[in-house]
Amino acid sequence: MILDLKGNRVTDVHKICISNYTKDRFLTIMPRLNWTDNFNLAYCFESEWEAFEFSENEKVQEMIGDELELFLWTDTKKSIYDNQN
């Protein structure tokens, strides 16, 4: 989601990012693969499949470790699996 100077929604950016379970850290590749607390640096994906493929990479799995991860919509920060039938 992009906001104007008054905090009004200008547009939605409907992509997927990978977060930890508490939604306070996000996977980033800038400057290297790591967790960041800055949502603006989160590495984003166009589809669930792309996010899943990335998260299954051996180096990403080492980075995630025992951390529970979520796939979140970037415009709402809700799980992509919420409200699905």
- Residue range 16-25: average pLDDT? 95
Conformation bin of residue 55: beta by default, left when phi > 0, alpha when psi is -120 to 50: alpha
> Where are the chain's structural domains?
14-73
How far apart are alpha carbons 10 and 17 in whole angstroms? 20
Give me the pLDDT at residue 75, please. Answer: 85
Give me the pLDDT at residue 9, please. Answer: 63
Average pLDDT of every residue of the chain: 87
Q: Which residue did the predictor score with more confidence, 82 or 24?
A: 24
Q: What is the pLDDT of residues 54-82, one digit of tens each?
A: 999 999 999 999 999 999 999 889 999 88
Give me the pLDDT at residue 14, please. Answer: 81
Give the whole-number percent of the chain exceeding pLDDT 90.
Answer: 69
SS3 16: strand
Give me the pLDDT at residue 85, please. Answer: 42
